[in-house]
Amino acid sequence: QQQVKQSPQSLIVQKGGISIINCAYENTAFDYFPWYQQFPGKGPALLIAIRPDVSEKKEGRFTISFNKSAKQFSLHIMDSQPGDSATYFCAARGKSTFGDGTTLTVKP
Amino acid sequence: GAVVSQHPSWVICKSGTSVKIECRSLDFQATTMFWYRQFPKQSLMLMATSNEGSKATYEQGVEKDKFLINHASLTLSTLTVTSAHPEDSSFYICSARGRAVEQFFGPGTRLTVL
């Protein structure tokens, strides 16, 4: 049973638009929800993370929205840029569980 | 963020040989290290978790005799792929976690078995 479900699988956004990636989790014991960005041939890099005691966290153009009751969290990338084109993974701490990834393409 | 290195970044070997991949935390002490395997355009698959000084905990379906993990110090973990075969070709990524909750990833090692 996959513990973290991520959607969409791929996303195409125009430059300047908002990219939204969603994740849902099962285990209420998870207490830390990071998002990672991965470029081809590279390891994932921590982008932003949130704990369940807050509903939103913003760092620059990146925002995590967290809905504890729905067991969902999402990544919003404002003013998306071509350099944001990468694969994004959500995760949940407990057993280092990752979503399947979302390939984001930002068109110039 | 903290820095995790991996060596080598890529390796090509003949079938039947063993390959060792090193993972180092450069500026923090990693009490826990994780090893992942990633196939093209797929997510990271956790292979095993290791705590310094103790045996690694392998995920279901991962052969512990084939993928030997050693976490002998707080800054070094190694993954040895024994008797490698072409189906072991993959991108192997380690990550490390200290006392804080954040997990930092290495740059990955591309293994190609001929």
Selection from B81, B83, B3 nearest residue B35 by Cα: B81
Say if residues A106 and A84 touch (Cβ distance below 8 Å).
Answer: yes
CA distance B108 to chain A (A): 5
In Å, what is the CA distance from A74 to each residue of A19, A21, A37, B94?
Answer: 10, 5, 14, 25
Contact A42 B6 (CB under 8 A): no
Note the pLDDT tens digit of each residue in A45-82. Answer: 999 999 999 999 999 999 999 999 999 999 999 999 99
CB–CB of A72/A23 below 8 Å? yes
A48 lies within 8 A of chain B by CB: no
Query: Touching check for A18 and chain B: CB below 8 Å?
Result: no
Chosen for mutation from A38, A48, A102 (greatest number of chain B CBs closer than 10 Å) is A38
For the segment B51-62, what is each residue's pLDDT rounded down to a tens digit? 888 889 999 999
Q: Write down the pLDDT at residue B101.
A: 79
What is residue A96's predicted lDDT score, i.e. its pLDDT? 65
Quick one: pLDDT at residue A28?
84
A41 contacts in B (CB within 8 Å)?
91, 108, 110
Q: A76-99, pLDDT tens digit by residue?
A: 999 999 999 999 999 988 556 789
The verdict on A36 touching B (C-beta cutoff 8 Å) is yes
Please state the φ and ψ torsions of residue B35, each to the nearest 5 degrees. -120, 130
A54 at the B interface (CB within 8 A)? no
Question: What confidence tier does B47 reach under pLDDT thresholds 50, 70, 90?
Answer: very high
The two beta strands, B10-13 and B109-113, are parallel
Of B49, B93, B102, the CB nearest to A43: B93
Between residues B72 and A39, the one the model is more confident about: A39
User: Cβ of B62 under 8 Å from any chain A Cβ?
Assistant: no
CB pair distance less than 8 Å for A96 and B103: yes
CB-based contacts of A15: which residues, under 8 Å, 6+ apart? A80, A81, A82, A106, A107, A108
Least confident range of A12-16, A28-32, B46-50 = A28-32
Q: Please, is A44 exposed, middle or buried when counting C-beta atoms within 10 Å of its C-beta (0-12, 13-18, 19+)?
A: buried
* Overall size of chain B counted in residues: 114
pLDDT of residue A94: 57
Q: What does the pLDDT read at residue B33?
A: 93
Q: Which amino acid is at B5?
A: S
pLDDT of A29 reads 84
How much is the average pLDDT of B55-80?
A: 93
